Structure 1
Amino acid sequence: MTAPTRSAPRATLATPVDLPPIDRAPLRRLHRRRALQHLAAVVITLFMGVPIYLIALAAFSSRESLNDFPKSLLPTDVSTETINAFLGSAGVLPATLNSLLVGFFTVMLSLLVGAPGGYALARYGFRGRDTYQLFLLLTRALPIVVLSIPLAQLFLTAGVYDSVLAVMLVHTALALPTTILITASIFVSVPRDVEEAALLFGCSRIGAFLRVVMPLALPGIAASSIFTFVLSWNEVLAAAVLTLDNRTLPAQVLTSLRESPLAYRFAGGFALVVPALVFIFLMRRYLLNMWGSALR
């Protein structure tokens, strides 16, 4: 007898299922939000970049073209006459060197004192911690003009009046609150486990701070350095009050504006902007690391 053959199963066609329509509204909202963010970034960039461009255009124009009206927005008459006249003015080059020295040592001193302070705020809890942070911010609310006469008297008594050291100390005091708060917010992001692992492998507390915590906190330290340098470079009141012969560049430009021609003013504005932009350009990779990746 032959075994009964099994018939192959018949292929059944799947019945179509009616899918709901795709809701594209969230995607459109996302595209709209990104477009608005890009537009805001462009507007902010133009707001900050157009004045710098106009100052640079005037600084590298001839003296005759500065008086033209309406002035062209394109560099049609490029000349180094204006900037050369400014750089050749009496006291400009020494004042520029003084500003660079003050800015550099202000960054170093503020980090040397402020970074450990920020680390202590981030790692240790103590009574009055929040009040202390608020007090740090309130120190910036006190106008420097109120302190100018007492500071001048103090530096005269100490024998450091009219010196780069006096300006550097004042700028360091002005930058310390923000340095402490910025570095504290960065040290909070560095995990304790990494530091404790370094301690287990034989590092001292200072060694773990220098070898492990500081490299991870470099983006925040770079942001603090940029803020400190720009603050020191642009500060003019303390430098004008505390110095006579050893002025910084902003104080030198400020004291010379009343008797100076228009070309000197534009060239002075350009000279004040360029070093800060160069410093930010050199430190930009640390800022990009801070904005582009999170410390975990």
Structure 2
Amino acid sequence: MSQPQQVEAAPQLPPIDRTPLRRRRRHAVGVQLACIAVTVFMALPIVLIGLAAVSSHDALNEFPKSLIPSGFSTDTLTSFFRATGTIQALGNSLLVGIYTVFWSLIIGAPAGYALARSAFRGKDIYQVFILLVRALPIVVLSVPLATMFLRLDVYDTVFAVTLVHTTLALPTTVLITASIFVAVPADLEEAARVFGCTRWQAARRVVVPLALPGLAASSIFTFVLSWNEILGATIVTLGHRTLPAQVLTTLDEASTPYRFAGGFALIIPALVFIFVMRRYLVNMWGTTLR
């Protein structure tokens, strides 16, 4: 009789090393915790200012103050907006912000396109030179600016503040738009020119639509910069100040409710503008620059 064949045992696999997976999970948890910490750090002042702005006068005068106010009221915000010059200053800030975004894109976007599509000697030095505009403090330029605006008869106007804010925003706009246009493939523009488009038509019909999310994101930075700028608006205006300049010049004699309401009023428009444009901002970092 034949001997039964012995079945060979299957080779044992080495144990699975789960250390890299655990390390990756710990890294992901650490990143999430860091994001939460940064979000809380940035959002907590906004939340506290918002709660103080909708608190009653008695709740603001309490000591010690509780995290959640004991009484809510719109009297604080109502008294702030009823104060002399507040509505006019709010309108001036909105106009200056919109005008600054418009002129920054009109002037800065073509400059960024030229930097993205043209190669010339000293290009890197030129980009550094653009940033030197931001290195000059507005205090140093205050006297020349005030003198020039007085001679041109534009002192204490929205136009004067727009000029100052556009000058401050142009370096950032030029460099951001240059990076946006670099991300748009030049082959698409060349293909459009092969099919009969001129350089201007190819840029308008092909490049600009693809770069629109980035341009919208650039407008966010420009608007927020213009909205938060105080010193320049204070120097070149007197009776037609923006809302930040108006609040700053009245802080010494303002009451506590006015200060909280003023801080809340300065935050809200910028947050609303970012909320409206957030889709373009996400698309810029998630699609256009990919």
Give TM-score, length-normalised by structure 1. Answer: 0.93
Unaligned segments of structure 1, at least 5 residues: 1-9
Task: State the match for 2:211 in structure 1.
Answer: 217
The aligned counterpart of 2:74 is 80
Q: What does 1:1-296 align with in structure 2 at a 5 Å threshold?
A: 15-295=9-289
What displacement does 1:258 show? 0.8
Q: What SS does structure 2 have at the residue aligned with 1:202?
A: coil
Change (3 A) 1:14 1:149: farther
Matched letter for residue 151 of structure 1: L
Conserved 8 A contact 1:237-1:251? yes
Could you say what secondary structure the match of 2:140 adopts?
helix
1:203 deviates by 1.7
How many angstroms apart in 2 are the aligned matches of 1:276 and 1:43? 22
Aligned-partner residue type, residue 214 of structure 1: V
Structure 1 residues 150 and 25: alpha-carbon distance in aligned structure 2, compared to 1, 3 A threshold? same
Structure 1 runs of 4+ with >6 Å offset = none
- Residues 6-45 of structure 1, C-alpha deviation per residue, up to 9 Å, x if partnerless? xxxx999674122122121211121111111111111111
Residue 233 of structure 2 aligns to a residue whose secondary structure is helix
Aligned-pair identity in percent equals 63
Amino acid at match of 2:153: G
Name the CA shift for 1:100/1:20 in 2 (closer, same or farther; >3 Å).
same
Going from structure 1 to structure 2, the CA distance change for 1:248 and 1:18 (only over 3 Å counts) comes to: same
Partners in 1 of 2:153 and 2:39 — Cα distance?
Answer: 45
Range 16-25 or range 248-257, more displaced: 16-25
Displacement of 1:219 in angstroms is: 2.4
- Is the alpha carbon distance of 1:295 and 1:236 closer, same or farther for their aligned partners in structure 2, counting shifts above 3 Å? closer
1:136–1:249 Cα change, 3 Å? same
TM-score computed with the length of structure 2 as normaliser: 0.95
Question: Which structure 2 residue ranges, 5 or more long, are not aligned?
Answer: none
- 2:203 maps to a residue whose letter is F
Residue 11 to residue 262, structure 1, CA distance change in 2 (3 Å)? farther
Determine if contact 1:216/1:295 at 8 Å carries over to the other structure. Answer: no
For residue 277 of structure 1, report the CA deviation from its aligned partner: 0.2
Q: Deviations over 1:139-185 (max 9, x none)?
A: 11110010011000001111111100000011000000000001111
Amino acid across the alignment from 2:129: F
* Greater gyration radius: 1
How far does residue 75 in structure 1 lie from its aligned partner after superposition?
A: 4.2
The 1:142–1:217 alpha-carbon spacing in structure 2 relative to 1, beyond 3 Å, is same
Secondary structure of the 1:203 match is coil
